[in-house]
Amino acid sequence: MATLKELSKRDELFSGGHRLCSGCGIPPIVRLLLRAANGPVVATTATGCLEVGTTIYPYTAWRIPWIHSAFENAAATISGIETAYKAFKKRGKIPQDKNIKFIAFGGDGGTYDIGFQALSGALERGHNFLYVCYDNGAYMNTGIQRSSATPFGAATTTSPAGDVILGKQESRKDLTRIVVAHNVPYAAQASPHNWADLSRKAEKALKTEGPTFLNVISPCPLGWYSKPEESIEAAKIAVDTCYWALYEVENGVLKINYKPKEKKPIAEWLKMQARFKHILKPENKGLLDKVQESIDKEWERLLSLDGKMI
């Protein structure tokens, strides 16, 4: 794995000056991933914050070949690009020793929901690419509507906390687990606060032959109603509470990459985000207990599988 000093010397392939919000988790994720690639990269991006914030005509933050197609088909687009690359190599139009890497980026709306069919198909067909989901837990780009990645109890514009309901009533989808069920060679969860873990996983994913997947928690001050200067800390506490476990599944074997010495209560993460303020009221303690119980149960499940074939 490259050291921080080595990474800092590599070309910056994602420029500043974009329109992504202050405190957004997406820029550090993308910058580190492109540096970790350390070679020619082609990327595609689903409609979402990343696409809108970095390619407002006539400007672009991308210093690599990049394409945007539609909300639902980033995985299909990268599949087509990767297939064309193989065809050109076969015909001698691209040198055999030319090694280009392919990355698709999507938010949780474009990955968990709208783009899931294209992603599932690309994984099943076995295309050689890395899919990166920046998970901020809602459709932040279009008005903070709930997605299937939105945590239970979170207030959004389509699951408001009021007299009728107290935020989203359903549990979030476990997309990483679903991707692993496609028998891909590598899948992992990461966080922007832990650059070494994220960089290592990106390098491993990009060196692995076949479809690979990274699910990265991406703090969103706009939709989390949190302080921009606390975004990286919020990502760290999400991991320390085990809401967002850092683990990888390589060739079917699950490995937990970080086990907190002292697992923090989920309230420590919730209190940083006004979208959960109703849960922390004394009269709603039952909701808080339900959230904590769900996280504890999932963490115990992961611990039971650590180091095992799943």
pLDDT digits (tens, 9 = 90+) for 105-130: 999 999 999 999 999 999 999 999 99
CA distance 272 to 140: 18
Burial tier of 174 (Cβ tally within 10 Å: 0-12, 13-18, 19+)? middle
In a domain, 270, yes or no: yes
Burial tier of 99 (Cβ tally within 10 Å: 0-12, 13-18, 19+)? exposed
In a domain, 169, yes or no: yes
pLDDT tens digit sequence for 124-135: 999 999 999 999
pLDDT tens digit sequence for 36-58: 999 999 999 999 999 999 999 99
Confidence of residue 199 (pLDDT cuts 50, 70, 90): very high
In a domain, 290, yes or no: yes
In a domain, 9, yes or no: yes
Q: What are the φ and ψ backbone dihedral angles of 279, each rounded to 5 degrees?
A: -70, -30
In a domain, 10, yes or no: yes
pLDDT of amino acid 69: 87
Query: Helices 74-90 and 116-125, interaxial angle, to 10°?
Result: 30
Residue of 281, 191, 298 whose CA lies nearest to 234: 191
In a domain, 310, yes or no: no
* Total domains present in the chain: 1
In a domain, 134, yes or no: yes
At 77, is the secondary structure helix, strand, or coil? helix
CA distance 302 to 310: 10
Domain at 275, CATH number? 3.40.50.970
pLDDT of amino acid 1: 83
Residue type, 167: G
Residue span of the structural domain in which 300 resides: 4-305
Residue of 19, 46, 29 whose CA lies nearest to 139: 46
At 231, is the secondary structure helix, strand, or coil? helix
Q: What is the model's pTM?
A: 0.97
